[in-house]
């Protein structure tokens, strides 16, 4: 195989490796899904860590944004985050509605 052919195969190989890794982990998940107890302390810890990571990323986006979000005033970003949080809890922890409310609020306030 020539050097040019190897370079052209690299993206294909990367996609194949990524696909195998993705589907292998999903297959393992399906195998063990019946054995997982949601009320298990380990599962509760994983859920808490996932929420903490999400909260940390949201706070970082509000306080230390990068890119286009830097041009939006911090009070506007914080206000949109507050609206998203209120909608999240008012709608019985509906993440989709909370995020949608936050995005719409941020867009509306930033365009003023």
Q: What is the pLDDT of residue 94?
A: 94
pLDDT, block means (10 residues), the chain with 112 residues: 62 89 91 84 90 92 93 95 96 94 96 88
CA distance 106 to 79: 8
The structure's pTM equals 0.60
Q: Could you give the C-alpha distances from 74 to 29, 31, 60, 69, 109, in angstroms and in order?
A: 41, 46, 11, 9, 11
Give the pLDDT confidence score for residue 2 in this predicted structure.
55
The pLDDT, as a whole number, for residue 7 is 62
Looking at residue 6, its pLDDT comes to 57
């Amino acid at each position: 195989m020539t050097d040019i052919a190897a370079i052209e195969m690299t993206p294909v190989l990367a996609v194949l490796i990524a696909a195998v890794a993705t589907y292998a982990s999903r297959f393992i998940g399906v195998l063990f899904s019946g054995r997982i107890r949601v009320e298990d302390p380990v599962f509760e810890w994983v859920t808490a860590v996932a929420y903490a990571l999400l909260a940390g990323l949201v706070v970082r986006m509000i306080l230390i944004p990068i890119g286009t979000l830097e041009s939006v005033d911090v009070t506007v970003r914080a206000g949109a985050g507050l609206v998203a949080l209120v909608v999240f809890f008012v709608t019985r922890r509906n993440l989709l509605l909370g995020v949608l409310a936050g995005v719409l609020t941020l867009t509306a306030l930033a365009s003023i």
